[in-house]
Each structure stands twice: as C-alpha cells, then as structure tokens.
Chain A
C-alpha cells in the first residue's frame, strides 16, 4: 500500500435492502464502457458534498515471477512519482491543493487507487489519473528513493505485526508453484533488484484501460462523469491483454509446517491455512459464513472454545477474495502458559467438531445477520460503496452479484457448512505456522 499496511480486501456479502431507509439498490448503479475497454461505474449519492474515484487494475503479486516479486506493489508507489503533464510530486500536490486526498493498495490479485475529493475537483482528478495512466515518467532517481520507502514499509510491517511475519512464511510453504507463494510486498532481494526496464514493461502491460474498472461514487452526475471520461480516459489506447496465469497449485498431499523465532514474542502465535477454491466457486458463500461462525463476535465458536476457556488471548479467521484458489486462515495468540501445541490442537478440535457434528440453524442465522449488518455498514459511506462495487465487479465478474448475494447466502444450509469443513479444513490440506520466542531445537 502506499501509506497504510493492511492489504485485506474489506468487501463482505450482503442481503437485499428493505424498510424505510434510502440504502443503495442495484438500480442506483449506472455503468458504461469506453471504446478502449475501460469499464466505468457511477453511483450518484449526494449525502455529503464529496465524491471519490476508485481505479481497480487487474494486476497484483499473482502476475509476478521470481526475480520481480513485489513489483506490482512497488509499481503502485511509482504511479505517484510523476508523469508527462504533472511531473515529480505534482500528482499529490495538485490533488491536495484541490481539496483531494488519495491512497492505494495492492493485493495478490489487484492494485487499487483511491481518490477522495470535494466533488468540485472531479475534472482535476480525471486529468491527474489520465496523465499517469497514459504517460507515466519512470526515472532512475525516483526509483532509488522509492526503494527505500518500500524497504521501510516492509520492515515496519514485520516490526509491528506478528501476523505479517507469519503469513509471509506460511504462504511460502503452502504454495510451491502458484505466485500466491510470495508476500505481496515481495522478497527483500527483489525489492533491491528491479530495473527500469522491468517497470516500463509492467506499466505498458498492465496499466492499459482495458485492464481496469473504474468506480465514481458521490455527489456527481452520470452525464458529467461520462463527459470527463470521454475527454480524459477514452483517448488512452488499449493494449494486448496481459498473459493468463496458468499455474495451478498441485493438490496438497499432507500437512506442512513452518516455525519462526522472534525473541520479543510473549506467547506463541499460531496461524494455519487450508487451500480453498477461488471466489467465483459456489462454496464461497458457505466458507464465508463459516468464517463468521468461527470468529465473529464473542459468541463465536473460536472465542467460546479458546478465549473464554483462557487458552487464547485472541482468535481470528481471514478469507480473502481471490481470482485463483487460495487459502483460508485461522489464527490465535496463546494465553500465558499455553503452548503453541495446545493452542494448535484447540483450533483444530473446533474445526473437527464442526466436521463431525455440523453447526446449528441458529448459528447459521446469526452469521447471515452479521453479513447483513456488515453490508449496511459498508453502504453507509461513499467510500465503502465504491470499494465494494469494484471489488464485486472484479472478484465475482459483475457488480450486480453484490445485490444477488442475499439469495446466495440464504441458500446456504447447515449441511453446506459441515460439507465445506469436511472438504477443505482437513489435515492433509493444512499448513501450520508457529511464531515463538525460543529457537526450535531437537532437545
């Protein structure tokens, strides 16, 4: 990310919107596609005198190869360092002088640029974005300074987040073929090694209008957005589509394990992950509801079995949206005096229990209600709306899946929950990573 550390995609599932509120419906979303293939969605919303623009690029660490790992994220930084009309530093200076702010994030699958601004600055934003999409100036001096920034981002992530440390090691073990193997921020030696040519090629290949989806939400009008898109984005030529990612991770045939030692860790951290299908697979909804059943709220399975029983200080799950089959994470921090082994066994016992006995109808209903609340909270801001619409467009193939998700969630049964646990959350499909203070020895 350009400025903050989290690379988690926030979009959640949701249900239809009823009642007296004025919540967004599918009819509120308007869309058009430019001749160069750039798709643009517009959501008019005058709640506040502001708007935003989200540009979703279909490029992430998934599109990299050994030697240039982390380049998608590094490129995200370079997109702020000067183009033809707006030279070095002028992107941010121009935007901020117009009252706007921006950020960006990179994931395994996408790179997303976010502009937040008073709606009066809409044309300035189009001008700035078009300039850097069409005419980015990649110069050697900027690359060198930015390497230091990204190295600092990597270091401060490892310094302040045990999960980041663990996830980096875990992914390396869980994937031996697919590019999800390396961290989004890249390997340290690759950060030091990118060449200008690598970056120039990357820009040409991936920052083509036909590889993007744009969302504008806020106090704007469709006609105005259309006119500006025609003026600024339409002249940018399309490019040949990027190569497909053909690598399919081979089936895991047995548990894999990773151990990381860090002296200042006060009690063991355990992260485990299971291979699961891509987001477009029909089991997505059951797995997503399962994550709520396991870890959302103090009445969740993992809280009740681990935190309430004083085995863990905290527990969580993480289930990212993904273009290709990816991982389903469970994690916990041990309570004082509890070993990594005890914590790991307790986590596994909970998933095994669901595999054997299933979940209750009430638990499933609860998870569905949690999804509905999450949806409303997301749709409370123009920022949440833009991010969620674009995310659904990319990960489900169409933004309207956001509005049909209710049916998809409602169709999930307790038997489905039990089945996905039995299918995916099993030992042979698991990678376990442990972080602890002492060095691992044979004793």
Chain B
C-alpha cells in the first residue's frame, strides 16, 4: 500500500540532488534511518537559499495527493509598533493581491477545495496553503502573489478591522480563549513578548491599510522568510517553479530585529491579576513565571519532567486535582518557549466555591517536584510516554511544514527530531533533579484568575499583590 516514511527517507537520500544553478548555498539534507534503534527520524528534505536570501525547504511526501506550502516571515507581535499590526498585516494578505480581489481569491481557492490562511504569532507570521497536487499551477502563483504583492484594499481592510475589534469582545466571553494573553502581559509587561498579538479594541482602531503596507514593506522580505513545501511533488520541477515565482523578489538589506534578550522582566514579587467576569460560573486560572527559550539545551529533558508534573493524564496535577479530588475536568502544566525567553504555566479551572481548594492543591502538588522528587519508575514511564507520542506529531504535510518553519524561525535543525529519542533515553534521575532545581520557578509566582471578583477577591489576596481589572476593559492589561 504505502511506502513507509522511514523507507522513503532512504529512497529520497539517493535521489536528492542540488537543483538549478540559480540557487546558491544549496544544502541537501537527507536523513537516513541507518539504525532502527534510533527510532523516528525526520523524512528527507532539502534546504536551499536563493540569491535574494529566500530560504526554501522541500520535503516530498506521497501518502495522499496533497501539497502544503508554508511561508514563515520573521515578523510577529514582538515587531508591533501598534498592538496587533503584525496579525492584521498577515490577515491583510488575504484581502486581495496583484489586482485580484479578496472575493476572486476566495472563489479560486474554495473551488479547488484548497485552503489559504494567514496569521501572526509572537515572532513569526505564517501564510499557509494546502491543495491537491493537480492544482499546483493555480495555487502556487496565487500563493506567491498573496505573499509578495498584497493589495491591502482599504474597503476590505475596514471590514476586517471591524470584525477583529468585535471579535476581541467576543473572545472575552470565553475565559479559556483569552487567559494566556492576560498571563503574558502580567509576566512580560512592557517587553515585546508582552504585546497582545491580537491587538486591543483601541489599538486596532488606529490602524489603516497604509500602516499594513508599511509593515509588509519592512518585514516581508526574502532574506527574512522561509518557504516550506511538503507533499506529493517532484523536487526538481518544484524547485524550478519556486525559483521562477520567488527568484525575482527584491532583496532588501538592513532589516533590524528587536533585541529580545534585552529588557526581560525581573519578577521580584508574587502578583495576582484578578480578571472580573461578573457572570462567571467557574474560576479559570494560570499560575507560573518565566520559562526557557527554544534553544535551551535542556528543552527535551524538561519536556519529560513536565510530563510527570502536568503533561499527561496520569500527571501529578491531573491526578490530584481531577482524579483524586474531582475538582476539575483537567489540570496541566507546560513550558512555552520563544526564541529569547519563555513562560512556564500551570493551568486549570474549577467551580467558584472550590477556587481556593484548587489553587492550594495545585501549588502543593507543584511543590512535590522539589519536596519529594521523582522516582525511577515514574521517570521511566514518562520517557516511554514522550517517545511513544512523538512520531504522530510529525505525520501530516501540515505538521511537517510547521516543523520546517519552526526550524527556520527558532534556528534549530533536524537533529532535534533525530536525536530526540536518544536525548530522552539519556535523561537520568540525577539529571531530572537538576532540571527541577534549575528551571521550575519556585519564588514570586504570577497568577491570573478569571472569575467573579466579588466572590474570589479575598482568595486572590492570599497569593500575592492583587491587580484587579474587568474583563470588559480594553486590552489584557496589568
């Protein structure tokens, strides 16, 4: 039926060659599964850089006749001059391009059953498409126009702006949808990582199509972008197509990115951001602090240790809060890494009457990490779990394109995948305890509680200095 991806890796390693001479710095990266014991490896792919600085990743995958194309641009909310401009620029790409209206683009894409979407995160903006391989000749040029030649039509922008402003209010109807934005603002404050990527009702209102054009001109540059193509295609002809479509994208020098290592907050006291939602029927909360950056050499080990604390169903947090106490439907923890910093957070929710009980139990359970430590059986189980659940994260063309985009954005390579299992295997008890001592924040924890403030304000005061806001207030502020 299907070639396995592992067999495909071997096959591709023999056929991958460098492409057209116009492409410079070509680097064939073909991973071989020369030892079954090594486990899951990244399917073979090729990385190239065009003369204008554009990075290309090509990874053939033949399981279904689909192709995913991702463009990731190093521009996100950390680059926002006005809150939300990176996100609005990304979404604005879809408002029409190269003289074809929004409606014409959508008719074309939808008719093929294809998808085209765009959005910005903290450090990158992604334009993504997937389509049937037979429709490549329609979708690739369209994709290129949307990325490089968006029109930012004023009428369409005005409609998008109104939808997004109203959407912010609507999002606040769901505590789960917005609590992360409050947390990032509380932790990072004025640092760019604290920027509300979605913008606020007020900041979005100040934007216009010209502002988006300027943002696009500043950041959507070939030297600041990678395009990943994953799916059912022939690499040689795909390279020619990409060269033809993107080779003429003008090169611009001198792009300056913010120094994200600078100005990171010092969290010298515990604080509680109490977000009042008058008709809340439960309390939704996050507890945490600063975490790690994506390039931390202990990233894999920390993911194993976090699995024990709050990363799986039998984790300590879920076991105590859900299984033993019946206080919640689920409790989790995790590190969210960015290029130069990150957060660690514990998350759960409970009915209003058990708010204090649930927070106390979460904190007590968290403290087990250093008060009680990890035993070997638990560590072994977590290692097996992390390894066993790893391959399905990179099964689809979309997932693999996302991986390649992340490699570009955060500067890691496929050794992260290919050495993942060995790194997990190598984690000892002593090492795990070192990670606990080094990385899990113990002091000056930061709390966000979304709930009925009239009821839970006295509880909030127990955990730190309380800052109270109403969920209907503009922004996600502190």
Which residues of A come within 8 Å of B, CB atoms?
A: 3, 17-25, 28, 44-50, 89, 92-93, 96-102, 116-118, 121, 144-149, 151-153, 155-156, 158-162, 219, 262-267, 296-300, 304, 307-308, 310, 313, 333, 335-336, 362, 365-366, 369-374, 376-377, 379-383
Contact = CB atoms under 8 A, between A and B. Distances in A.
Contacts of A264: 172-173, 277-279, 471
Given A21-B62, A48-B395, A96-B385, A266 B173 contact: yes
Contacts of B324: 145
Nearest to B135: A369
A100 B395 contact: no
B40 A380 contact: no
Nearest to A367: B113
Nearest to B103: A299
A121 B388 contact: yes
B393 to A, nearest CB: 10
Contact of B174 (A48, A161, A362, A383): A161
B294 to A, nearest CB: 24
9 contacts: A21-B133, A46-B4, A48-B392, A97-B380, A152-B350, A159-B281, A264-B277, A376-B65, A381-B392
Interface string B447-476: 000000000000000000000000100000
Given A118-B388, A370-B113, A381-B395, A23 B162 contact: no
A313 B329 contact: no
Contact of A299 (B7, B40, B107, B394): B107
B266 interface: no
A19 B133 contact: yes
Given A3-B330, A28-B1, A297-B110, 10 more contacts: A20-B65, A21-B62, A23-B63, A23-B64, A47-B395, A101-B389, A152-B326, A160-B177, A380-B63, A380-B64
Nearest to B173: A264
B313 A373 contact: no
A366 B111 contact: yes
Contacts of B130: 373, 377
Interface string B297-321: 0000000000000001110000100
**6 A-B pairs closest in CB distance:** A99-B388, A148-B326, A373-B113, A369-B113, A297-B110, A97-B381
A96 B62 contact: no
B469 to A, nearest CB: 15
Contacts of A374: 113
A103 to B, nearest CB: 9
A98 B110 contact: no
Nearest to A153: B329
A19 B134 CA distance: 9
B1 A22 contact: yes
Contacts of B314: 89, 92-93, 96
**Most B Cβ at <10 Å: residue of A97, A159, A299:** A159
For A24, A44, A121, A380, the residue with the greatest tally of chain B CB atoms inside 10 Å of its CB is: A380
B282 interface: yes
A443 to B, nearest CB: 23
B122 interface: no
Interface stretch (B13-21, B163-171, B256-264): B163-171
Contacts of B377: 97
B232 A148 contact: no
B61 to A, nearest CB: 9
Contacts of B279: 262-264
A314 to B, nearest CB: 8
Nearest to A304: B103
Interface in B355-393: 377, 380-381, 384-385, 387-389, 391-392
Contact of B326 (A96, A147, A308, A370): A147
Which of A18, A96, A371, A381 has the largest number of chain B CB atoms within 10 A?
Answer: A96
A262 B232 CA distance: 49
A23 B278 contact: no
A263 B163 CA distance: 21
A160 B174 contact: yes
Given A93-B381, A96-B381, A116-B392, A335 B162 contact: yes
A266 B63 CA distance: 45
B256 to A, nearest CB: 35
A49 B39 contact: yes
Contact of B329 (A44, A149, A262, A297): A149
Interface in B393-446: 394-397
Given A21-B63, A47-B395, A264-B173, A373 B132 contact: yes
Interface of B: 1-7, 39-40, 62-66, 102-103, 106-107, 109-115, 130-134, 159, 162-163, 166-167, 169-170, 172-177, 232, 277-282, 284, 312-314, 319, 322-330, 349-351, 377, 380-381, 384-385, 387-389, 391-392, 394-397, 471
Given A97-B384, A370-B110, A313 B325 contact: no
B170 A267 contact: yes
B113 A100 contact: no
Contacts of A21: 62-65, 133, 232
Contacts of A93: 314, 381
A85 B471 CA distance: 49
Contact of A47 (B5, B282, B284): B5
A47 B213 CA distance: 43
Contacts of B114: 373
B167 A313 contact: yes
Nearest to A296: B110
A152 B113 contact: no
B150 to A, nearest CB: 16
Contact of B312 (A96, A158, A159, A296): A96
Contacts of A146: 326
A99 B385 contact: yes
B3 A22 contact: yes
B385 A267 contact: no
Contacts of A161: 174
Contacts of A19: 65, 133-134, 232
B134 A376 contact: no
Given A20-B232, A45-B1, A382-B395, A299 B329 contact: no
B326 A47 contact: no
B66 A297 contact: no
Contacts of A304: 103
Contacts of B388: 50, 98-101, 117-118, 121
A139 B265 CA distance: 50
Contacts of A362: 111
Contacts of B323: 89, 145, 149
Contact of B175 (A160, A265, A365): A160
Given A89-B314, A376-B65, A99 B384 contact: yes
Contacts of A372: 113, 132
Contact of A376 (B64, B109, B282, B329): B64
B170 A333 contact: yes
A365 B110 CA distance: 10
A160 B115 CA distance: 27
A45 B380 CA distance: 28
A160 B65 contact: no
Q: Count chain A CB atoms within 10 A of each CB in B232, B389, B392, B395 and give the residue with the most.
A: B392
B173 A336 contact: no
B107 A380 contact: no
B171 to A, nearest CB: 9
